[in-house]
Chains A and B, each alone.
Chain A
């Protein structure tokens, strides 16, 4: 058995998916590429007012003055197709995207019970994704598609002969020539068509008529062109006009997250990474990747992470669209040991880190890692992971970490004037130590990179004055106070 999910008025649904405006109003999708602004698809209300696909926008507005015209969005159509596929994948991996807005599923190979309840559940699932779907279930893909086109919202075809007999010829979209001939012959329904002998019909109307007859008889068999499950989940929204504040951006971002979360839940996965891309009015893109510390599909948690960043975001140019991409992962089933001290809420911690970065600046928060070099004060800050592996690092050893008082380093070092006596500091003038040097240790010579033009050489001294104990350095005659060990 096969099932087809059919999204009627697909292009219109894709455009209106994020709108509060109900589709029951007179609305239409316009092709902006065409010179006349050709109408591509209309709502039922617009059709009742006399607006049809193929008209120009001005004609449509003349016939229906209150009509809402929306430009076609290929990006939103793509995300709508992706959402459709995700829902289909929740039922079976044997999926074909027959055409935009039409998805065929092979139910027989996945052992799904193909009843009306199942179809209704699928339709409900799509309704949560703000998509209105019709579902047809039948013994072959083409029959299932015909069933989907006439379903309300689910139709299971048990007796294909009686189902097809009642369908109009137009359901098979025959070519205009064939349709004209059949009209003249008085053939209105598929049942009437199948009563004609197939061979003689083919002799008179050509091969196209034979295919039409096979479809009408429900005797077509074809192999599905299967699609692979997507590795990322994408949603796209195109703003009608450039946005200047974060509120509308966050509003849409939340909507997109809700949809992506539902799509993830359909296939029992969670979000591990979010990528937000904002195409800007000057043609460039702003992109930011958010790694989710504890992968989740919970909308509030994911939104808080984005909200923290976008609340403080300032861009030189206004965004014109919004791409949101989610990299899925399997949910972690981790049971902590009784005596383990993990982070209680890694996502909240991630959010706190983002807020901290906003307070103290990016690059001023993290886990320090000492860079293995002779140059002083060389470290980098890594984003904290804080898992049990955080305690497995190699312990640094040596005199610097085992002896003396840990240094408090001035960043940048304080410039100083040092008076030497017998080649050793005897008097220092600077903002902090100022006076006679009581005791000294050193010099401690450091140098490196002698093999290229970046070579450097410095000498360090530990000095004691009446104010405390300090480290001073001399690089090419420039003295500076590097830090202090003790202050009095």
Chain B
């Protein structure tokens, strides 16, 4: 999509706020009460956190993507995604990988393709040994490739791993078994978000309070 169209959309959204929600939806993600944080477009974002916290984050992300009508890819580094746990996945391309190496190669193909608005690379459950084998140059390559597209790459990792991430935030949440019967928006309230790194002059996807 050319920059002119994006600018035109922004201009229209500003001038005509009463236009359908789809206009502004592109730039907003409602993530309960995590506070206000922004996603850099055409850049790499890293999300660190526990398995549960990151899954809640993905739940919000996929719901927002479906509501706002854009196509998303999930590169599942360990093949652990359970589609039955999500309400709507018809706009989600699921790539089931065996290991981190396959996941990185898949991400490379999708980033170069540039057709999808958002690509989620989930390496949260991949063994440390596999994560150590990912060359730093891969992340730099992604960063360079993303600059020429309108795609956002979100890497979900167990610990800070992506040196060149434009944004890195950590999700903290400690859940008990007894809390699993609560609704997800209640669980989201318990998440704490800490921005570890923010380095972007690029346009931002807003991730803000509903």
Binding site for B on A (CB under 8 A): 338-341, 343-346, 348-349, 352, 355-356, 359-360, 364-370, 377-379, 381, 384, 386, 388, 390-393, 395-397, 400-411, 438-441, 462-464, 468-469, 483-488
Contacts of A364 in B (CB 8 A): 79, 95-97
Chosen A-B contacts, 12 in total, with CB atoms closer than 8 Å, are A341-B26, A343-B115, A368-B89, A369-B90, A386-B71, A386-B91, A388-B69, A395-B87, A400-B84, A400-B85, A439-B177, A488-B174
**Contact between A365 and B51 (Cβ–Cβ < 8 Å)?**
no
**Contact between A469 and B106 (Cβ–Cβ < 8 Å)?**
no
The proximity string for B residues 84-126 relative to A, scoring 1 for CB distances below 8 Å and 0 otherwise, is 1111111111111110001001100110111111000000110
B181 at interface by CB-CB < 8 Å: yes
Identify which of residues 124-149 in chain B touch chain A, using a CB-to-CB cut-off of 8 Å: 124-125
User: With A441-B177, A485-B180 in contact, do A360 and B106 touch (Cβ < 8 Å)?
Assistant: yes
Contacts of A411 in B (CB 8 A): 79-80
A365, B23: Cα distance in complex, Å: 30
A462, B50: Cα distance in complex, Å: 18
Contacts of A464 in B (CB 8 A): 176-177
User: With A359-B102, A400-B84 in contact, do A487 and B90 touch (Cβ < 8 Å)?
Assistant: no
Contacts of A485 in B (CB 8 A): 51-52, 55, 175, 180
A37 to chain B, nearest CB (A): 52
**Contact between B183 and A402 (Cβ–Cβ < 8 Å)?**
yes
| Closest A residue, CB atoms, query B95 | A365
| Closest B residue, CB atoms, query A345 | B115
Q: Which of B66, B81, B114, B177 contacts A463 (CB 8 A)?
A: B177
**Contact between A401 and B87 (Cβ–Cβ < 8 Å)?**
yes
Contacts of A406 in B (CB 8 A): 55-56, 58-59, 82, 85-86
**Contact between A390 and B115 (Cβ–Cβ < 8 Å)?**
no
**Contact between B52 and A486 (Cβ–Cβ < 8 Å)?**
yes
**Contact between B96 and A360 (Cβ–Cβ < 8 Å)?**
yes
| Closest B residue, CB atoms, query A365 | B95
A391, B90: Cα distance in complex, Å: 7
Contacts of A356 in B (CB 8 A): 95, 106, 109-110
A293 to chain B, nearest CB (A): 10
Contacts of A355 in B (CB 8 A): 109
**Contact between B176 and A384 (Cβ–Cβ < 8 Å)?**
no
| Closest A residue, CB atoms, query B105 | A359
**Contact between B82 and A469 (Cβ–Cβ < 8 Å)?**
no
**Contact between B184 and A408 (Cβ–Cβ < 8 Å)?**
no
A400, B177: Cα distance in complex, Å: 15
**Contact between A403 and B181 (Cβ–Cβ < 8 Å)?**
yes
B18 at interface by CB-CB < 8 Å: no
A262, B107: Cα distance in complex, Å: 36
A374, B130: Cα distance in complex, Å: 35
B22 at interface by CB-CB < 8 Å: yes
Contacts of A392 in B (CB 8 A): 90
User: With A359-B105, A403-B181 in contact, do A367 and B82 touch (Cβ < 8 Å)?
Assistant: no
Tell me how many residues of B have a C-beta within 8 Å of chain A. 65
Scoring B5, B26, B114 by chain A CB atoms within 10 A of each residue's CB, the highest score goes to: B114
Known A-B contacts: A360-B95, A405-B184. Give 15 more (CB < 8 A). Answer: A339-B9, A343-B71, A367-B90, A368-B83, A368-B94, A392-B90, A404-B184, A407-B85, A408-B82, A409-B80, A409-B81, A438-B177, A439-B178, A463-B177, A469-B180
Contacts of B177 in A (CB 8 A): 438-441, 462-464, 469
B70 at interface by CB-CB < 8 Å: yes
B1 at interface by CB-CB < 8 Å: yes
**Contact between A404 and B180 (Cβ–Cβ < 8 Å)?**
yes
Scoring A339, A377, A439, A440 by chain B CB atoms within 10 A of each residue's CB, the highest score goes to: A339
B161 at interface by CB-CB < 8 Å: no
| Closest B residue, CB atoms, query A468 | B51
**Contact between A348 and B113 (Cβ–Cβ < 8 Å)?**
yes
**Contact between B70 and A341 (Cβ–Cβ < 8 Å)?**
yes
A135, B132: Cα distance in complex, Å: 71
Contacts of B97 in A (CB 8 A): 360, 364
| Closest A residue, CB atoms, query B104 | A359
B182 at interface by CB-CB < 8 Å: yes
| Closest A residue, CB atoms, query B114 | A344
A395, B91: Cα distance in complex, Å: 12
**Contact between B184 and A390 (Cβ–Cβ < 8 Å)?**
no
**Contact between A384 and B93 (Cβ–Cβ < 8 Å)?**
yes
A345, B8: Cα distance in complex, Å: 21
B207 at interface by CB-CB < 8 Å: no
Contacts of B115 in A (CB 8 A): 343-346, 348-349, 352
Identify which of residues 1-31 in chain B touch chain A, using a CB-to-CB cut-off of 8 Å: 1, 5, 8-9, 12, 20, 22-23, 26
